Amino acid sequence: MFKPVLFSILKHREHDLTKNQLTNDIIAGVIVAVIALPLSIALAIASGVTPEKGIITAIIAGFLVSFLGGSRVQIGGPTGAFVVIVYGIVTQYGIGGLTIATFLAGCIMIMFGLLKFGSVIKYVPYPTTTGFTSGIAIVLLSTQVKDFFGLTMNDVPSEFIEKWKAYFTDFSTIDMTTTLIGVISLLIIVFWPKINKRIPGSLIALVVVTVGVKLLNLPVETIGSRFGEISNSINLVKFNELNLSLDMTKELLRPALTIAFLASIESLLSAVVADGMIGKRHNSNTELIAQGIANIASSIFGGIPATGAIARTAANVKNGGRTPISGMVHAIVLFLIMIIFMPLAKLIPMATLSAILVIVSYNMSEWRSFKSLFRSTKSDIIVLLVTFSMTVLFDLVIAIEIGMIIAMFLFVKRMSESTQVSNVNHNYFDIFTDDSEYDETISFNDGTHIGLNNKIMVYEITGPLFFGVANTFLEVMNELKANTNVLILKMKNVPNIDATAYNALKRIEKSCRNQDITLLFACVNDQPLKLLEGSGFFETVSKDNLFDSVKTAVEYADNLVLNNK
């Protein structure tokens, strides 16, 4: 079950780990570390924690995700998806609450992996993931307005609408120097790839603008002016000093579950994208366990939640990374940068970090996917808009819960509409056999035609029989004629049946018994048959009432009708 890819590669290194590939992995790891550096700092600050916590997360979680993970090229670390959640936890419960929530989320992810939920989580509806991802992007963008424009505000409201009201109220306090720094940073990030695609524009903007601000002694807010000295050490968290109560820990289970759910989705989506880029397949359950261990370790060393980062993973692949060694190198390089250069991070302007996160927000927004979904079904549009609006106006926890519930209800509705219970007696033409009685020729969906006595009713069921169609199934009894002697259920196109539909079937059988109607079955598939056998259905109905074809069932029914005359 738990099979880290790295161990498999080392075991068969003659196939996967050549000297040339090792060199490529090291180069890719260094480049990804350079990309991760400004992002980790910016995401930590946006999450309401100190800058070094983002670097610690990228180092600890990034190393463990690669070392123990189920993907060859996954890069782990802090991502924009967690900013809203982390900020809310820190605001309400403090850093101690965040540590416990991250620890619990890691435990939950390990449980997901052990229970083999990896393949299940990947089936979260696309409109749901697009809705909350786009919503997170909008919320993340809204958190950067103050720093980008240098607004003079005391406290920024946490609610989306109130936040923007405050921005408009205090926009007259805009600082033009800070805004200019933000715009220049933004332009460098956007246009630098036209010059060089290997070195990230975010790093160039960070270095160039920081040096410029220092040399010109510009009066703008920096990391140092807001946070003071930045630590360049990694220490274990002293859990006995967190002052957390049992009640608070219980309260943190809900946000922890949200972190685990979101981290699982994002990491597996990233792994799937990476699979397509390198032509390999990841082990989803191993990846979830590794992500869980990484989050537990991140919390123990004072980090924040981590997951697979799609952009950094893609950069790893594009720069030649093909084994987990590149991810481990990325973490080691970040550690060295932290030890040597972290004290200089206090010189970085806040407006530059805001510009970096503006680009992150844009890339997260998936506006093209959002737009394309409006050409999909009405139910997909509803799920998309509800999840998006709930994420923006309330919080991600509510958005995921309501979005998933609506998606499930709409799915059940679509499935129930796809299952048909057809009275095939209505599809007939008359064939007179004598002066007193006529037969019917019934036509089935597969194109077959069978002559039928008018005292025999045949229903053809197409699609799964489940709780969504149970009431429709029960309406069979309301349509039976007064002279009906035999009811035949053709179940060739019924792949499965659930407990609710089985209960409806028992009620139909009981009603047939009370009305002296013989109930026959034709073409019953394996799953429905096993359920009927295991539930004791054949204790009241003889197995002789099962037939391999409708034709034999009708022949048997004809004999019953003749014998009852």
Clarify whether residues 321 and 375 are in a common domain. yes
Clarify whether residues 386 and 535 are in a common domain. no
Strands 307-308 and 420-423: unpaired
Name every residue whose Cβ is closer than 8 Å to that of residue 276 and which is 6 or more positions away in sequence. Answer: none
Last residue of a domain, one of 411, 429, 455: 411
Last residue of a domain, one of 411, 431, 456: 411
Clarify whether residues 372 and 480 are in a common domain. no
pLDDT at 13: 61
- The CA-based dihedral angle spanning residues 312, 317, 323, 326, taken in that order and rounded to the nearest 10 degrees: -50
Clarify whether residues 392 and 442 are in a common domain. no
| Mean pLDDT within 150-179 | 90
| pTM to 2 decimal places | 0.76
Q: Give the Å distances, CA to CA, from 160 to 79, 248, 391.
A: 20, 26, 10
The string of pLDDT tens digits covering residues 461-518 is 888 988 888 887 888 777 777 788 889 999 998 999 998 889 999 989 998 888 889 9
% of the chain residues with pLDDT over 70: 93
pLDDT at 433: 34
pLDDT of 448 > 70? The answer is no
pLDDT at 63: 97
* Range(s) of the domain holding residue 321: 5-143+165-227+247-411
C-alpha–C-alpha distance, residues 5 and 232, integer Å: 31
Q: Residue 234: inside a domain, yes or no?
A: no
Q: Residue 235: inside a domain, yes or no?
A: no
C-alpha–C-alpha distance, residues 400 and 263, integer Å: 13
pLDDT at 430: 35
pLDDT of 253 > 60? The answer is yes
Name every residue whose Cβ is closer than 8 Å to that of residue 449 and which is 6 or more positions away in sequence. Answer: 441, 442, 443
Clarify whether residues 88 and 105 are in a common domain. yes
Confidence band, pLDDT 50/70/90 cuts, at residue 199: confident
Q: H/E/C letters for each residue in 319-368?
A: CCCCCCHHHHHHHHHHHHHHHHHHHHHHHCEHHHHHHHHHHHHHHHHCHH
Q: How far apart are the first and last CA of the chain?
A: 65
Confidence band, pLDDT 50/70/90 cuts, at residue 426: low
Q: Give the Å distances, CA to CA, from 75 to 2, 10, 357, 361, 418.
A: 19, 19, 19, 19, 42
Tokens 């056999």, located at residue: 433
pLDDT at 81: 85
Name every residue whose Cβ is closer than 8 Å to that of residue 92 and which is 6 or more positions away in sequence. Answer: none
Q: Residue 308: inside a domain, yes or no?
A: yes
Clarify whether residues 280 and 308 are in a common domain. yes
% of the chain residues with pLDDT over 90: 45
Confidence band, pLDDT 50/70/90 cuts, at residue 450: low
Q: Residue 370: inside a domain, yes or no?
A: yes
C-alpha–C-alpha distance, residues 64 and 331, integer Å: 9
Clarify whether residues 72 and 171 are in a common domain. yes
Alpha-helical segments (H) within 122-200: 126-142, 145-149, 160-170, 176-191
pLDDT of 72 > 90? The answer is yes
pLDDT at 431: 33
Clarify whether residues 382 and 485 are in a common domain. no
| Mean pLDDT within 72-82 | 93
Clarify whether residues 295 and 403 are in a common domain. yes
- Tokens representing residue 44 in the block: 């930590």
Rg of the Cα atoms in the chain: 31
pLDDT of 422 > 90? The answer is no
C-alpha–C-alpha distance, residues 292 and 384, integer Å: 28
The string of pLDDT tens digits covering residues 201-247 is 898 999 999 999 999 999 999 999 988 888 889 999 987 777 777 78
Name every residue whose Cβ is closer than 8 Å to that of residue 132 and which is 6 or more positions away in sequence. Answer: 387, 388, 391, 396, 399, 400, 403
Strands 486-493 and 456-462: parallel
Clarify whether residues 484 and 512 are in a common domain. yes
CATH number at residue 432: 3.30.750.24
| Amino acid in the structure at residue 38 | P
CB atoms within 10 A of CB 125: 20
Clarify whether residues 309 and 385 are in a common domain. yes
Among 127-136, 252-261, 437-446, name the one with the lowest average pLDDT. 437-446
Angle at 508 between CA 506 and CA 513, to 5 degrees: 95
Q: Residue 240: inside a domain, yes or no?
A: no
Dihedral sign computed on CA atoms, order 81, 82, 87, 88: positive
- Tokens representing residue 27 in the block: 């180069």
The string of pLDDT tens digits covering residues 79-121 is 988 888 899 899 889 999 999 999 999 999 999 999 998 877 6
pLDDT at 565: 55
Q: How far is CA 213 from the centre of its chain?
A: 41
DSSP structural state of residue 544? G
Alpha-helical segments (H) within 150-283: 160-170, 176-191, 201-216, 223-227, 246-251, 253-278
| Mean pLDDT within 244-260 | 87
pLDDT of 312 > 80? The answer is yes
Exposed/middle/buried for 156, CB within 10 Å: 0-12, 13-18, 19+? middle
C-alpha–C-alpha distance, residues 291 and 82, integer Å: 14
Q: Residue 241: inside a domain, yes or no?
A: no
pLDDT at 176: 96
The total of structural domains in the chain comes to: 2
The string of pLDDT tens digits covering residues 326-377 is 999 999 999 999 999 888 889 999 999 999 999 988 988 878 888 888 888 8
pLDDT top residue among 516 and 408: 516
Last residue of a domain, one of 392, 411, 430: 411
Q: Residue 150: inside a domain, yes or no?
A: no
Alpha-helical segments (H) within 115-125: 118-121
Q: Residue 55: inside a domain, yes or no?
A: yes
Clarify whether residues 72 and 102 are in a common domain. yes
Q: What is the mean pLDDT of the chain?
A: 86
